[in-house]
Amino acid sequence: GAGVSQSPSNKVTEKGKDVELRCDPISGHTALYWYRQSLGQGLEFLIYFQGNSAPDKSGLPSDRFSAERTGGSVSTLTIQRTQQEDSAVYLCASSLGTGGTEAFFGQGTRLTVV
């Protein structure tokens, strides 16, 4: 596609439910990032995929969070047993390489846990 696509745009879920957030990166981009942004705050790094290397999961806040990237393309961020503090905008970005290249962002998924 022309840009990074994220779905859904908005998601409201009940506390305790599992949610899946999807990211479709720009074709050919080997690097894919997930970030979380709470209202008025900066971007909190969650996880980073680079090609076939093992992902950098150092930013995941708890074992309720996991992410996969299938076939080096689409990625899914899964949050199990959601909590109210998980409410935030989840942003995905992709780039041609590592942190030394421009990252292109999707419009994010706004997650609200009620």
Partner 1 sequence: SQQGEEDPQALSIQEGENATMNCSYKTSINNLQWYRQNSGRGLVHLILIRSNEREKHSGRLRVTLDTSKKSSSLLITASRAADTASYFCATDYNQAGTALIFGKGTTLSVSS
List residues binding partner 1 (CB under 8 A): 4, 33, 35, 37, 39, 41-43, 45, 48, 50, 53, 56, 59, 89, 91, 93, 95, 98-108
Q: How far is the CB of 4 from partner 1 (least distance, A)?
A: 8
- Comparing CB distances to partner 1, the nearer of 16 and 61 is 61
Residue 90, C-beta contacts closer than 8 angstroms, at least 6 positions apart: 6, 21, 34, 35, 36, 37, 46, 77, 108, 109, 111
- Comparing CB distances to partner 1, the nearer of 57 and 81 is 57
Q: How far is the CB of 16 from partner 1 (least distance, A)?
A: 26
Both structure tokens of 100: 């030394």
Cα–Cα distance, 80 to 89 (Å, whole number): 16
For residue 72, the SS3 value is helix
- Comparing CB distances to partner 1, the nearer of 5 and 73 is 5
Cα–Cα distance, 103 to 113 (Å, whole number): 28
Q: How far is the CB of 109 from partner 1 (least distance, A)?
A: 10
> CB-based burial of residue 99 (10 Å sphere; 0-12 exposed, 13-18 middle, 19+ buried)?
exposed
- Comparing CB distances to partner 1, the nearer of 19 and 31 is 31
Q: How far is the CB of 56 from partner 1 (least distance, A)?
A: 6
